[in-house]
């Protein structure tokens, strides 16, 4: 008989015992397979737990250094690349994107601002013409198509989640300024110097540490299925053009590609450390990655609205800062409305709360079915704040 709650490893400060209890409950109440959670307080680990299985067949235990694809939690790392350039005076959030990427001015986009790109307000949540996986993995081809395409709505007036295009759009700005794709820039400037176990894509040599992504055992509820059926055309295109399923996301070509919106691979410890840069005023130990002023800019709200792509998944309006979602009135990232973070498909998340000095990383391989606010991550966040 399969043990419902596996042996949990790692450490947890007594004050945060409720986080450990919530982590354990997720295995029983939400069919967690393998997962890890890390909480940093003022940059120091107060929770670092892992447990379960790294594969669907339950033959490989989840280890301290198990890596997993974190889907859109990757976007926090990509936004960090842009903010490094802003901090250095190389990228102006109030400049037109075309100032750095001249071809982008096509199809009425000459006035789209960098801040609108960062905040999912550029109207480029999807490509209009069919886009194959082979084309998707071709950086030059995909970015050229995005530069040529017409926005789905008037840029700057609404937000619409740029599910896959975000990484190419922000990433191309990084490439135009530095000559490097965001994965290489992140490695050179952040993860390698700070010893953070996170990459965009995954080097072949690390595959032995990789967890397999596994589908939910329940499938979407009737309410969730109805929500998908109500998606606007831009939402359908954003989620299906191209369509990426678990088979593809577990493939070698997905790992080898540069998908800065969705194929970051790391540990919970790494996610907490990356988002921790935002939580500690730009510091990472003795290293200062960003100025305090730049960190404040990250959470400049760009206007509340019902998201044009994911609006059917929210019971409320939401607001995006410059690359990360604000916790807001719905408390998606805890009770501080000015806390911010990003979640990934299936449930992973990174969170930063500068007022509390807290950052959190949660990763897993059992894909949840909710579009937003997966109950496993919400239970962990609630437990963290209950301990403060």
Q: Rounded to whole angstroms, what are the CA distances from 242 to 152, 237, 257?
A: 17, 8, 14
The pLDDT assigned to 1 comes to 37
Q: What is the pLDDT of residues 138-163, one digit of tens each?
A: 999 999 999 999 999 999 999 999 99
Name the band, by pLDDT with cuts 50, 70 and 90, for residue 315.
low
CATH topology classification for 9-80+183-387: Beta-lactamase (3.40.710)
Domain range annotation of the chain: 9-80+183-387
Buried/exposed 120-136: b ≥16 CB within 10 Å, e otherwise: bbbbbbbbeeebeeeeb
Under 8 Å between Cβ of 104 and 112: yes
Cβ distance 67 to 202 under 8 Å? yes
**105 Cβ partners below 8 Å, 6+ apart?**
96, 98
Is it the case that residue 3 has pLDDT exceeding 60?
A: no
Query: Which residues are catalytic, by number?
Result: 72
Helix (H) / strand (E) element for 10: namely strand 9-12
pLDDT above 90: residue 41: yes
Give the 3-state secondary structure of residue 309.
coil
Question: CA torsion, points 257, 166, 366, 244, in degrees to nearest 10?
Answer: -60
Query: pLDDT tens digits for 234-282?
Result: 989 999 999 999 999 999 999 999 999 999 999 999 999 999 999 999 9
The average confidence (pLDDT) of the chain is: 94
Cα–Cα distances in angstroms (integers) from residue 202 to residues 10, 197, 206, 208, 273, in the given order: 25, 11, 7, 11, 18
pLDDT digits (tens, 9 = 90+) for 11-36: 999 999 999 999 999 999 999 999 99
Q: Taking the model in full, what pTM does it have? A: 0.96
């Amino acid at each position: 008989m399969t043990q419902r709650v596996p042996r949990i490893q790692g450490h947890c400060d007594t004050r945060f015992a409720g986080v450990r209890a919530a982590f354990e409950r997720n295995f029983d109440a939400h069919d967690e397979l393998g997962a890890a959670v890390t909480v940093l307080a003022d940059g120091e680990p107060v929770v670092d737990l892992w447990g379960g299985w790294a594969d669907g067949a339950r033959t490989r235990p989840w280890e301290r250094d198990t890596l997993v694809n974190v889907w859109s939690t990757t976007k926090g790392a990509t936004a960090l690349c842009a903010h490094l350039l802003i901090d250095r005076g190389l990228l102006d959030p109030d400049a037109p994107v075309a100032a750095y990427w001249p071809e982008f001015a096509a199809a009425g986009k000459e006035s789209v601002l960098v801040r609108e790109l960062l905040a999912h307000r550029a109207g480029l949540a999807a490509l209009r013409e069919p886009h194959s996986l082979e084309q998707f993995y071709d950086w030059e081809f995909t970015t050229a198509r995005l530069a040529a395409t017409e926005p789905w709505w008037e840029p700057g007036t609404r937000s619409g989640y740029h599910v896959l295009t975000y990484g190419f759009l922000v990433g191309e700005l990084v490439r135009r300024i530095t000559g490097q794709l965001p994965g290489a820039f992140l490695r050179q400037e952040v993860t390698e110097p700070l010893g953070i176990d996170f990459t965009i894509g995954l080097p072949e040599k690390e595959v032995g540490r990789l967890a397999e992504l596994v589908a939910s055992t329940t499938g979407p509820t009737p309410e969730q299925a109805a929500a998908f059926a109500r998606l606007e055309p831009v939402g359908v295109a954003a989620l299906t053009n191209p369509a990426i399923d678990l088979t593809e996301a577990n493939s070698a070509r997905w790992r080898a590609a540069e998908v800065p919106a969705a194929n970051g691979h790391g540990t919970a410890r790494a996610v907490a450390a990356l988002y921790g840069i935002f939580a500690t005023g730009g510091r990472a130990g003795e290293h200062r990655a960003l100025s305090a002023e730049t960190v404040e800019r990250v959470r400049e709200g760009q206007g509340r609205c019902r998201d044009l792509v994911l609006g059917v998944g929210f019971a409320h309006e939401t607001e995006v800062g410059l690359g990360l979602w604000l916790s807001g009135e719905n408390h998606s990232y805890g009770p501080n409305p000015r806390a911010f973070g990003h979640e990934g498909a299936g449930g992973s998340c990174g969170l930063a709360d500068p007022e509390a000095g807290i950052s959190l990383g949660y990763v897993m391989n059992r894909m949840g079915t909710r579009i937003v606010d997966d109950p496993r991550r919400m239970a962990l966040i609630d437990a963290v704040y209950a301990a403060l």
